[in-house]
Amino acid sequence: MAITVSSLPLIIGHRGACGHAPENTLASFRAAADLGVAWVEFDVKLSGDGELIILHDDTLDRTTTGRGPVTQHTLAEIRRLDAGLFFDAEFRGEKVPTLDDTLAVLQDLNLGAVVEIKPCPGREAETGDRTARHLAAHWPGSLPAPLLCSFKPGALAAAGAAVPALERALLLEVMAEDWRHLAEQVGVRAIHCGHGHLTESLAGEVQAAGYDLRCYTVNDGARAKVLLDWGVQGIITDYPERMP
């Protein structure tokens, strides 16, 4: 199954719309859709027993009622946790979704997705490989093709080896001097970077080299306008309604 990425929208909801609902939950994806977002971003990692789940951190403590490393818990154990209370009592009972749960909701809501490979330490290649293969096999045919991204070159390389047709982006917190070398190493066509250290000249350099450029996590409309004026092609935000 060939997967090639379509044109992404300018505004992408971060972990759903996590300014409005608990991040990386089905409630957050629904909140994004309610705000008129066409694409969302979310994080995929492996549970201790190798199941693909939607969770950002390497530990359960911040966003669930669980404690300790994700790698020490099975999917069944993680599914018993509450992933909404950390945000607000209104979301009591939200669960950590699986990737399959998420794909079903994306299909229902007609949402495209940037899928971040967020491996626990030491599981970079395994998570990249498993995520890419699962998306190739189960991505809803009614949706635009997904875009994979990661901070971990090993995860991106494994995803590319598993499903070469699935396009990928390199995540960088800061645009390092060797950004182009890193991008060429893993064969990506896009850079997603933290907006705080991006300059107009760096933005121009990335685009002149032929790469798509998107920025995270932009929650101020005025800053977003500056970035868009520099030619940035996508804004990843907790608050889509604030964007120009």
Catalytic residue set: 14, 56
Tell me how far CA of residue 108 lies from CA of 97, 101, 154, 237, in angstroms. Answer: 15, 11, 32, 22
Q: How far apart are CA 215 and CA 227, in angstroms?
A: 8
**What is the phi/psi pair of residue 149, to 5°?**
-145, 160
**What is the phi/psi pair of residue 221, to 5°?**
-60, -35
Q: Which parts of the chain fold into alpha helices (H)?
A: 26-34, 75-79, 99-109, 124-138, 153-162, 179-186, 200-208, 221-229
Cβ contacts of 61 within 8 Å, gap of 6 or more: 67, 68
At 238, list the tokens. Answer: 């907790």
| Closest CA relative to residue 113, chosen from 96, 91, 135, 94 | 135
Q: How far apart are CA 94 and CA 3, in angstroms?
A: 31
